[in-house]
Chain A
């Protein structure tokens, strides 16, 4: 047992108790001993005899020990508070310690405690003041900030306070400021506080530097005067010999911690403008760099560590200043020496620091000289965190000239990399190979290799991205198709490879179909051989590939249809697979080759946006992308590679399907399929298709409704709680709107109501009648239907409103939507021979009956697409009427209950000028004007 001093602080009973506890052989014995002690202390505290200060201190200290062993203490707080008012230091100290460690925000006691602290803080004895200050700092509650926010700063700048008290006051104040940063910046104290940097006592400066650092961050303007003071203080330290500072020299390094604090403080501000200050600062930094070249004054690690602590902080400041090329390059050279140092700590820190230097234009090249050493570190370092830093640095130093080597090294390392860092490495390789690809075959190879060696760590973002790039780059498509085909031939290939392969072959398989080794059937069989080993989401993607194959390779249509119509698909337990198989097989058997070709057209290029891989990496490691972002700003001027040219949609395959289904319904209507096709009978099915698709949330109902101009079903609205699907049928002047409310949450939506109302302008023009009452609640995950019948009395513009109210998590929600009930829904196309058309056209010749608009084409001019749109709009497109085959004419009748309004239309494209002239004539002039306006933006 260690010797216990014989002074007044010795507590023999405590030592005996601790020995007893240590001698306990079992947990039970320990508990027993503790309970015995607790009972003893309790009886002492409750006893009639007043305890003397020493006993109280001893028992409180025992309680504290018991608490620190992990036992709950529910008494003794009052006795601890009593100790605070003792005059003896040792008793006070135990009282304060107990309170700092154990006190909860027990408000009754807190008042007493604060009163005691108040007494001590104004005591003439510095040791009492310090105990009080330490207690405030250790508790650091808002209550403390309020009670002492005014007292503590007074001590800090007092002429009478001892140095030790000032030190404690500075940091105590810092703690109070951190607790309530808004309440105090002490602008009025600023100049007195910053002058603490000039204090004679180094300990005061050391404490004050931390306080000033925080204040400078909170209120830079008030404290900017600290810069010149910090520079001169720093200068005095670094130019001193190690004997000057005596007590503050640590292993021959003068005041290393204070130097570090000052160097950090200076990083709060831009480089000083005043030439003298700036010059002095640069001199300091040079001196610090010079000292590293001097022979060490001691072989002890403490000497080199503290010297290097200052060096690394100086380098941080040099990087922060970023305008002294000479210093930056010297810093880099110094770090270069550390890269091969025998101390792991130094190699680690050098890699970390160099990562920042790689971001500066002045030192980027100097950093690149160390490429081989860094690559070597990746291969040989034993500590994973060092290897991690090497990866970060390689990433930061990568450029066009070294990207192939760096990416190759990272790929090689990836094979044996620690699991913890694989995902991040995959992201980095993906980003680098994309950013610096001058040759897309290299890019495609790299990503496929990534999938081969670390398929499990390849996130969706990465494989989506490669698909997007291939789609956007014509020159990469053939190669991509060939390469994925080859990769898929491996007996075991990662599911992500199947996804990429499935997608790319579906789009570009035709580019390699000429070779009999990769003929359509071979491609299909290859993909389908993987099908059964894949998860449902991949299978769904493959089904989409198959329908695309039917379009690309009509010769294998039968084989594919057999697969689609196989019970494994049609009766699959997975609804998504079942549905895709059913719809695709219908699509392939009902539609003509032309329609199929339109529906399954090649994906259009993706719009440009920030790479979501980069976004993901940023989220994972905000610091590590800084360097590359800086780089990027510079790169923007130089001709770009593929970087930033494409974006990743939330889910690539889903995107196609939604496209498919939308155009699908339009086209089927365009072919005037009788309303008894499977489409119709699977009423809610269509809505479900949309439900499974990740559609963007409709921002405004008004803008959303225009998409329903040409179709009758789809998602009307969606947020994270609810999805509203709609399916309408119209016949003559009547219609039926089916609404499908899907609850996307796991909880019931309560107090649900859905009411359709007419705005003033629709009053009397449209009648509505719900088939039955709307549901009043929707269970979690459920979908409910609601049908509304309506009748068009007379011509109207606008649409009825649908108002939804519901309660989620007891918060009422309200959504107002427009129903896709638009005047054109009541229009029916009419066929007529050319002669009749011209007759009617002439009859409607009055100026009020005609509206004509000439406008710039919003979409590529495509006669077939325009025909489809007009048909979807409700008009019959009349063939062989207009002598110019590019012109379209159509006719239709708007049927209301009270009247029938004939409408004729002529659409004349001017392909050279990319303009349209649209003329609508109608017996009712208003109708002509309205239809013309509605159609204009869609061509």
Chain B
């Protein structure tokens, strides 16, 4: 299962943190810093997977943003990696060419996107069409 999802920029600013496991606030901060340290030192020739405590991080970099998901060691690496990409494509369509600022100004909408696609640390919906339909429907509600 997914333990947490983090979107960070290169400077280490968190653009989204979604936790599927109980951590206290100090621990969350520590995890955020550790993930940043682990992920930013890797280059394009490295794998998109990195061992992390008793878990592993599957991550992908899009321009200045790192999308990281922390999953169990037994989870399927490539499925997680493509789940990230699927999520990014949805964000891209929803925000029309998404950029970092969209995530800042619309942080409360990003949570809705996440909840549509992932819930309880599992993949909930994978169809981009379905997710976008749902998001547009919600956006038109008052």
Interface on A for B, CB 8 Å cutoff?
1-2, 4-5, 7-9, 15, 18, 22, 61, 64-65, 68, 88-90, 93-94, 97, 100-101, 127, 134, 137-138, 140, 164, 167-168, 171-172, 174-175, 178, 202-203, 206-207, 210, 246-248, 250, 255-258, 260-261, 264, 302, 305-306, 308-309, 312-313, 344-345, 348-349, 382-383, 385-386, 623
Contact = CB atoms under 8 A, between A and B. Distances in A.
Contacts of B112: 93
Contact of A168 (B46, B82, B119): B119
A171 B123 CA distance: 9
10 contacts: A90-B142, A137-B120, A207-B122, A246-B129, A247-B127, A257-B83, A257-B123, A302-B82, A345-B77, A385-B46
A203 B108 contact: no
Contacts of A246: 129
Contacts of B140: 7
Instruction: Kindly name the residue among A9, A90, A312 whose own CB sees the greatest number of chain B CB atoms within 10 A.
Output: A9
A700 B123 CA distance: 56
Contacts of A94: 108
Interface of chain A: mostly helix, strand, loop or mixed: helix
A257 to B, nearest CB: 5
Contact of A250 (B14, B82, B102, B130): B82
Nearest to A4: B105
A330 B138 CA distance: 48
Interface in B92-130: 95, 99, 101-102, 104-109, 111-112, 115, 119-130
Contacts of B9: none
Nearest to A88: B142
Contact of A348 (B47, B119, B141): B47
A247 B126 CA distance: 9
B50 interface: yes
Contacts of A171: 119-120, 122, 124
A97 B124 contact: no
Contacts of A61: 108
A22 B15 CA distance: 13
A18 B104 contact: yes
A385 B78 contact: no
Interface residues of B, number: 54
Given A137-B120, A302-B85, A382-B45, A258 B126 contact: yes
Nearest to B95: A2
A127 B142 CA distance: 12
Given A9-B139, A134-B119, A383-B45, A168 B78 contact: no
B108 to A, nearest CB: 6
Contacts of A15: 105
B47 A260 contact: no
Contacts of B50: 385
B139 A260 contact: no
A18 B104 CA distance: 8
A174 B120 contact: yes
B51 interface: yes
A206 B126 contact: yes
A260 B42 CA distance: 27
Interface of B: 1, 14, 17, 22, 42, 45-51, 73, 76-79, 81-83, 85-86, 95, 99, 101-102, 104-109, 111-112, 115, 119-130, 134, 137-142
A246 B129 CA distance: 10
Contacts of A349: 77-78
Contacts of A8: 142
Given A344-B46, A385-B47, A127 B141 contact: yes
B82 A2 contact: no
Given A2-B99, A206-B123, 19 more contacts: A2-B101, A5-B139, A7-B139, A7-B140, A97-B111, A137-B120, A140-B22, A175-B120, A203-B125, A206-B126, A207-B124, A210-B120, A250-B82, A250-B86, A257-B126, A312-B77, A344-B45, A345-B49, A349-B78
Instruction: Kindly name the residue among B17, B51, B106, B125 whose own CB sees the greatest number of chain A CB atoms within 10 A.
Output: B125
A174 B122 contact: yes
A2 B103 CA distance: 10
B77 A164 contact: no
A110 B43 CA distance: 46
Nearest to A348: B47
Contacts of A247: 127-130
B115 to A, nearest CB: 5
A246 B126 CA distance: 12
Contacts of A248: 126-127
Nearest to A259: B79
A247 B133 CA distance: 12
Nearest to B16: A68
Given A247-B129, A309-B76, A206 B45 contact: no
Instruction: Kindly name the residue among A22, A257, A313 whose own CB sees the greatest number of chain B CB atoms within 10 A.
Output: A257
B123 A210 contact: yes
A348 B56 CA distance: 14
Nearest to B97: A2
Give me the 4 closest cross-chain CB pairs, A-B, nearest first.
A309-B78, A175-B120, A247-B127, A210-B122
Contacts of A93: 108, 112, 138
Contact of B46 (A164, A260, A313, A383): A383
Given A18-B104, A203-B127, A260-B76, A348 B83 contact: no
B37 to A, nearest CB: 14
A306 B108 contact: no
Nearest to B29: A70
A172 B122 CA distance: 10
Nearest to B14: A68
A207 B117 CA distance: 10
Given A171-B120, A256-B79, A348-B49, A250 B142 contact: no
Instruction: Kindly name the residue among B77, B82, B124, B134 whose own CB sees the greatest number of chain A CB atoms within 10 A.
Output: B82
B45 A385 contact: no
Contact of B125 (A100, A178, A206): A206
Given A345-B49, A385-B47, A260 B79 contact: yes
B103 to A, nearest CB: 10
A2 B73 CA distance: 38
B107 A65 contact: yes
A202 B128 CA distance: 13
Nearest to A133: B119
B107 A68 contact: yes
Contacts of B1: 210
A2 B96 CA distance: 10
A18 B78 CA distance: 36
Contacts of B77: 309, 312, 345, 349
A882 to B, nearest CB: 70
A531 to B, nearest CB: 42
Instruction: Kindly name the residue among B42, B47, B139, B140 whose own CB sees the greatest number of chain A CB atoms within 10 A.
Output: B47
Contact of B105 (A2, A88, A386): A2
Contacts of A100: 111
Contacts of A386: 47
A2 B122 CA distance: 31
B22 to A, nearest CB: 8
Contacts of B127: 202-203, 247-248
B124 A22 contact: no
B47 A345 contact: yes
B26 to A, nearest CB: 12
Contacts of B111: 97, 100-101
Instruction: Kindly name the residue among B51, B101, B123 whose own CB sees the greatest number of chain A CB atoms within 10 A.
Output: B123
B125 A167 contact: yes
A385 B51 contact: yes
Contacts of A89: 138, 141-142
Contacts of A88: 141-142
A134 B120 CA distance: 8
A252 to B, nearest CB: 13
Given A313-B76, A349-B77, A305 B82 contact: yes
A105 to B, nearest CB: 11
Nearest to B42: A383
Contacts of B104: 18, 22
Nearest to A98: B108
